[in-house]
Each structure stands twice: as C-alpha cells, then as structure tokens.
Amino acid sequence: MLAFQLPLTRKSDATPVAAPLWHPNFRNYERLPDTKVVRTTFFINAASIMVALLLLLWVGFRQYRIHELNQQIADAETEIGNNRKQNNDAIRLSGVFVEEDKKLADAEAFARMPMSPLDFVITLGRSLPKEIQIESADMRMAEAGGSQCILRGMVAGTKDQASGTVNGYLESLRTTPKFAAVFESVSLISLTDSRNNLLSFEIVMKFKAPGKEKKP
C-alpha cells in the first residue's frame, strides 16, 4: 500500500487575490462641482469686496483731508492778506508820524536858534570876500551829531589861490563875533575842481550845545 503525503499549504497562499479594476478613472476633479456647504469663491469674493471698501474709505478720507487742508490754507492766506494790509497801513502811518515828528523837532530847534536866519544871512554877507560866491546854506537842526550849517559855494582862482582864499575865509568866519558866539567850530570839508579858474567848496559850521552860547 502506497502512502501519499500531500504538501501542506501556507496560510498566505490561501488568501484570494483581489480582482483588478475593470476600467480606468477619467474623473477631472478640477471641473467637478464644489459640494462644500460654503464655497471657497464666497470667501475670495468677500475678501475682495472688503479690500475694495477699505481702499475706497481710505481714498475718501484722503480727499477729505486734502479739502480740509486747502480750506485751512485759503483761510490762512485771507488772514495774512488782511494782516498785510493792516501792517502796511501801520508802517505808512509810522513813517508819517516819524516825518511829522522830525518836522516838529526841526521847528522847535529852529525856534531855539541862537541866531535868527535874517541875522545869519546879513552877517554872512558882510564877511564874504569878492572871490567867493555862496550857492547854498543848509541849516540842519536837531541832528544826531549836533545842529550845524553847511555852506556850499565857489571860489575863483587857481587851486593854490583858491585854497588860500578859502582858508582866509574860514578864519574870517571863526573870528566874526556873532559867529564865534554861536558856532563851536568852522571847518572845510571839501575843495574840488569845478570848471576853469573855479573850485567848489563845502564848509561845515557846527552850533554850540545849548547853554554854551556867548553874547557878542
């Protein structure tokens, strides 16, 4: 009797093999409809709208601020214009006041002159040599450096002759009693060529300070 011994099979070999898929998967997931309760496009659209609203609000606020600043600038320019007119008026009135005050000071100084203009002209004419011609006598009273009289005129002769004539005239002005009583100094400021045989000169006669005049 023959004994047949069949081989034992392993447990893994007994598991049935899964059947392969019988057709391919052609689904396009990008084109399939969104089956979520809240779709993704809703959030995208909501975010876009929110950004657009924020930008619109920001632009509106900027435009409002610009308008407000322009209004403030216009108001400031108007106020500056009004103040400029008032300032110009104040400067003009101040200039008028200074001018009138100067005239008043000149009038007061003229009234306090130790020598009247008529007496001055008469005395000046008597002391005038024939070679000299006085063209102007400028009285400047209440000046910062003191009251003074500026004589301008012409002298005939060559430069040396004219210089000697003017120096002699200066000494005559200094020693004239009426002039010596009221003028502190008599000095030559300039002696320049003017035309043929004529030179122009300028003499300054400074008044003495009040209280220093002497009776002639």
Rounded CA separation 136/163 (Å): 19
Flag the least confident range among 45-49, 63-67, 148-152, 164-168: 45-49
User: What is the pLDDT at residue 204?
Assistant: 93
Rounded CA separation 7/9 (Å): 6
pTM above 0.85, yes or no: no
The band of 121, judged by pLDDT with boundaries at 50, 70 and 90, is: confident
User: What is the pLDDT at residue 1?
Assistant: 46
CATH 3.30.70 fits 117-207, yes or no: yes
Q: Which residues contact 177 (CB under 8 A, 6 or more apart)?
A: 216
Selected residue with higher pLDDT from 91 and 140:
91
DSSP letter string over 153-181? Answer: EEEES-HHHHHHHHHHHHHHHHH-HHHHH
Closest of 126, 134, 128, 174 to residue 150, by C-alpha: 134
Q: Evaluate if residue 152 carries a pLDDT over 70.
A: yes
Residue range 35-90, pLDDT digits in tens: 555 566 767 788 888 888 899 999 989 999 998 999 999 888 888 888 888 888 88
User: What is the pLDDT at residue 4?
Assistant: 47
Domain range annotation of the chain: 36-111, 117-207
**Coil, strand or helix at 6:** coil
- Is 169 in contact with 124 (CB distance < 8 Å)? no
User: What is the pLDDT at residue 2?
Assistant: 47
The band of 161, judged by pLDDT with boundaries at 50, 70 and 90, is: confident
Mean pLDDT in residue range 153-181: 89
Mean pLDDT in residue range 9-27: 55
Flag the least confident range among 5-19, 91-105, 106-120: 5-19
Residue range 176-208, pLDDT digits in tens: 998 888 889 999 998 888 677 788 999 999 988
User: What is the pLDDT at residue 79?
Assistant: 85
Q: Evaluate if residue 210 carries a pLDDT over 80.
A: no
DSSP letter string over 24-64? Answer: -----TTTSPP-SSS-HHHHHHHHHHHHHHHHHHHHHHHHH
- For the chain, the average pLDDT equals 78
Rounded CA separation 159/176 (Å): 26
Q: Evaluate if residue 144 carries a pLDDT over 90.
A: no
Please identify which residue in the block is written with the tokens 């030559």.
Answer: 188
- Is 197 in contact with 183 (CB distance < 8 Å)? no
The band of 120, judged by pLDDT with boundaries at 50, 70 and 90, is: confident
